[in-house]
Structure 1
Amino acid sequence: MITLDAIDRTLLRALQEDARLSNVELARRVELSATGLQKRLRRLEEAGVIRGYAAVVDREALGFDMLCFVQVTLQRHEPDAVAHFRREVAAMPEVLECHHLTGEFDYLLKVIVRNRKHLERFILETLTPVRGMDKIRTSLVLSEIKAAAAVPLCEPPAEE
């Protein structure tokens, strides 16, 4: 784990708010020279703190009106069965996120679809046929209360 100082945290906050800020503006906000800023960014990128830069796209503006969470249980948990499931899910464009869980279900998928028919096709024609599938439970999102991608960047706890 990399140690972040106050400048790193300020820089990351600014990028999380608007990754399109120019380097000149970023340098001004964190009170660094252009060279100092580039060194900081490169260090954060090389350490894996900054994995990339992306646009936040409104799914509904593109016609994906339904957000769903799909819980999945596999029949078997042998490494080859798990690897097969993960490869299949990674190739499904409707799946935005896939999380391996503890508890009753093995995986939680965050899925977007255009409408009920698209959801039906996704469940019956894409997900269900995946070899090793056991249980599928789908929940439809009625409204999004919070959908944030920004990681909180609070001060580290004081050493005692």
Structure 2
Amino acid sequence: MIALDETDRAILRVVQGNAMLSAGAVGRAVGLSQPATWRRLQRLREAGVLAGRELSLDLEKLGFGVTVFLGVKLAARARVGVEDFERAVSAIPEVRRVEHVLGRYDYRLRVVARDLADFERVLRRRVMALPGVGEIEANVMLSEERRPGPL
């Protein structure tokens, strides 16, 4: 684990909001010079604290107006391995996230669809047809609040 000071935390808060900012822009936001900010960003990348430069897509503007969280419990008697299920579920384009969890369900899936009819099609033809699926619970997302991380 890397030791973070308040300046590092301030930098992380800024880049969480926009990972595409230049070192100069981040530095201005936290009161550091561009070279000092660049060195800190590089140290955070090398330590693995900053990984990649992901952009988030506005799925609603792309026509995906429905997000559903699925709890999936694998059948107790299924002869399918966890790796087989994960490989199959990861191949479904509408499944945006696959989380292996402890609790009532084995997996939590984040599924996007154009509308509820499209979601029903994805559920029936793709998710329910996956190897080893025993039980599914669906929760439709009504709204989402994006908050900065814990720093």
Q: Same fold (TM over 0.5)?
A: yes
Deviation of residue 77 (structure 1)? 8.6
Match of 1:158 in 2: none
Whole-angstrom CA distance in 2 between matches of 1:13 and 1:92: 33
Q: So what's the TM-score if we normalise by structure 1? A: 0.83
Match of 1:157 in 2: none
Deviation of residue 128 (structure 1)? 1.3
Percent sequence identity over aligned pairs: 36
Match of 2:70 in 1: 70
Matched residues, number: 151
- Greater mean deviation of Cα atoms: 32-41 or 3-12: 32-41
* 2:81 counterpart SS class: helix
Which 5+ residue runs of structure 1 have no aligned equivalent? 154-160
Matched, 1:124 2:139: no
Matched, 1:151 2:149: yes
Whole-angstrom CA distance in 2 between matches of 1:91 and 1:3: 38
Match of 2:14 in 1: 14
Matches within 5 A, 1:11-160: 11-76=11-76, 81-141=81-141, 143-148=142-147, 150-153=148-151
| 2:89–2:95 Cα contact (<8 Å) kept | yes
Whole-angstrom CA distance in 2 between matches of 1:40 and 1:12: 10
Letter of the 1:66 partner, please give it.
V
* 1:19 counterpart SS class: coil
Whole-angstrom CA distance in 2 between matches of 1:43 and 1:77: 48
Q: Please tell me the root mean square deviation across aligned C-alpha atoms, in Å.
A: 2.2
1:77 to 1:14, Cα distance in 2 relative to 1, 3 A: farther
Which 5+ residue runs of structure 2 have no aligned equivalent? none
Whole-angstrom CA distance in 1 between matches of 2:108 and 2:126: 16
Whole-angstrom CA distance in 1 between matches of 2:32 and 2:77: 51
| 2:67–2:113 Cα contact (<8 Å) kept | yes
Deviation of residue 139 (structure 1)? 2.0
Deviation of residue 104 (structure 1)? 1.7
| 2:24–2:37 Cα contact (<8 Å) kept | no
Deviation of residue 35 (structure 1)? 2.8
Whole-angstrom CA distance in 2 between matches of 1:89 and 1:38: 39
Whole-angstrom CA distance in 2 between matches of 1:58 and 1:92: 19
Letter of the 2:89 partner, please give it.
V
